[in-house]
Amino acid sequence: MHSATSSVAAASVTAEPARERLWVSSALATVVFWAALLVFGALRPGYSQFTKAVSELGAIGSPYALAWNLVGFILPGLLLARGGARIASALDRPRGGTWWALVLTGLAFAGTGVFPAVIVNGTPAMRAPLTVGHIIMMMASSGCWLVALVLLIRRVPQWMRPVMLALTCVAVAGLAANVFHDLIPLLAYRPGLAQRLGFAGFFAWYVGMSSLTSAVSARRLSSKKLVG
């Protein structure tokens, strides 16, 4: 009896830290990205968070471009891939469609740092291979994330759906503000702000979903304890 009790206690102790760590990768990705954006933006003379694109910080020839691509794009992307894998594993299954969609979302985000844009006189050189690669990575990240949304909505618990829908609406609104900023008077001359609203919604979704996933894991853990 004592041995069985000890085993259950040990399992609970092991499961609890694992549950608590579900949100850490997404939270770290968020903190690293925004901290890097503020720091590297401040280090670049004349750089405005309201009018300049984030990609300009890592563009070929920009000051500290390599450092930004590593810290601002690649590291957060890898953390998002890990956070996405944890979300999918808890709500769906490891190596399933949702898992791959969220992992690829993060990896493609990291890929924007592997393929930095080429900017000439403040304008992206659209035919430059690196710029093409950068754009493909951005589109792949957004596309995989949208696929993950469709897959997840059918797999989350009923009680979780309203919150997930709210988070998704915030994230999609940010994405729409970025894409259609020319049609919004407040953002028409502030493309940088529009882009940052898109990033804000994107990262908020990851942090929110990771926190909800922790709650799901906590419920499952409590259920197992009651059954045991």
Which domains are delineated in the chain? 23-227 (1.20.1070)
pLDDT in tens, the chain (228 residues): 444 444 433 334 334 444 446 789 999 999 999 999 999 999 999 999 999 999 999 999 899 999 999 999 999 999 999 999 999 988 887 888 999 999 999 999 999 999 999 988 777 888 899 999 999 999 999 999 999 999 998 888 888 889 999 999 999 999 999 999 999 999 999 999 999 999 999 999 999 999 888 876 655 555 555 455
Whole-prediction pTM: 0.86
Report the amino acid identity of residue 80.
Answer: L
The enclosing H or E element of 123 equals strand 123-124
pLDDT value, residue 215 = 72
pLDDT value, residue 95 = 87
Task: Tell me how long the chain is.
Answer: 228
Q: Is residue 104 a contact partner of residue 144, using CB atoms and an 8 Å limit?
A: yes
pLDDT value, residue 12 = 40
Instruction: State whether residue 110 is helix, strand or coil.
Output: helix
CB-based contacts of 193: which residues, under 8 Å, 6+ apart?
49, 50, 51, 187
